[in-house]
Structure 1
Amino acid sequence: MHFHYLYRVNPWTQILMLLQRSLYAEEMVCAMSSQLFHIPKTKDLKGNSEMHNHLVPASYHRITAVGSAQRLTNGEQQPSIVETMTACIIHAENQDKKVRDGLKIMEENATPDFRPFIKLIIQWQNQAESYLSQTKTALKSMGISFPIESEPQSGEYNVY
């Protein structure tokens, strides 16, 4: 009975769930860090604008990866969908490194009353990265390979 159950479960469902959790955490990072622009005391917080230069493409790549996983869960099978998803995971990881750098600058420059809030944003960022990493591990266990993990040149990022 258990043997047949494994064949009925769509392996992409787990991938979609992990990516959705990463995106949810990213939504919290976006909402909370953007909120700082609307608080007089933190509207010019050092590091926030720079961090957002990487948070925007990181979010785009997560959204594209989730959409790709949704298509695979729905039964589409084109290899280019998998390639899109894996490339976007790599691009999101690369952008996450710069997001993390920006969050550290924000934490260092925040007034003591805002440091706990910045630490909470960092915890959400940790979750976003952790679920992305779990997704990558799960895909590799399914035999999916990843493109070469290199930093984009001259600060540019690919939007595919």
Structure 2
Amino acid sequence: MKVFKKGDDFLYPYDYYRVNNWSHVLNLLQQSLYAEEMVCAMSSELFHIPETEDLEGNIAMHSHLVPASYHRVTAVGSARRLKNGEERQTVIETMVACIINAETQDIKVREGLDTMVENASPEYKSLINVIITWQEQTELNLNQAKEALQSMGVLAE
């Protein structure tokens, strides 16, 4: 087994994770994905409101939100496979890579949301701030999943 750290460096083999239950990691990733669903639904709605359809930052934000969502979906699927008894190292590697990739995309999503709130008219700032709150939640849950993997010895700190 490989233990990962950001930057795709591999550390020593460690089998501790095999005696652990993947349910906790799956739950955290599902919570992250749920919050991501809200970010997607709310920010996409802005394209359909005449006053916000061309809001600066939304297109750029979505260019990172789409891959962030893909990586969360893939991480959840991988965690579900592990919870259901699959043990292949490649499933673990896929999940870890997707968590790291989603985390990287989240940085640009946040930048886009900041641009959006700066450029929104006053009546839409509160809606965008709600989207930002959901984005904070998706990032928090993803980070908690990452910490759980670190405590299992799957991911280096």
Give the structure 1 partner of residue 121 of structure 2: 111
Structure 2 unaligned blocks of 5 or more: 1-18
User: Hey, which bits of structure 1, 4+ residues long, moved more than 4 A?
Assistant: none
| Structure-1-length-normalised TM-score | 0.85
Higher RCO, Cα 8 Å, sep 6+: 2
Question: Match of 2:106?
Answer: 96
Rounded Cα–Cα distance in structure 2 between residues aligned with 1:112 and 1:33? 16
Alpha-carbon deviations, 1:114-143, whole Å to 9, x = none? 000000000000000000000000000001
| 2:20–2:152 CA contact under 8 A, matched in 1 | no
Counterpart amino acid of residue 126 in structure 1? E
Task: Spell out the pairing of 1:7-156 with structure 2 (5 A cutoff).
Answer: 11-145=21-155
Contact 1:10 1:73 in 2 (8 A): no
TM-score w.r.t. the length of structure 2 is 0.86
Counterpart CA distance in 1 for 2:133 and 2:142 is 14
d(CA) in 2 for partners of 1:141 and 1:10? 10
Moved more, 137-146 or 99-108: 137-146
Task: Give me the CA root mean square deviation.
Answer: 1.4
How far the C-alpha of 1:11 sits from its partner, in A, is 1.3
Unaligned runs of 5+ in 1: 1-8, 147-160
2:61 partner amino acid:
M
| Alpha carbons 1:45, 1:106 under 8 Å: kept | yes
Kept after mapping to 2: 8 A contact 1:25/1:127: yes
State the percentage of identical aligned residues: 64
The separation in 2 between residues aligned to 1:145 and 1:136, in whole angstroms, is 7
Corresponding residue number in structure 2 for 1:150: none
Partner of 1:113, secondary structure, is: helix
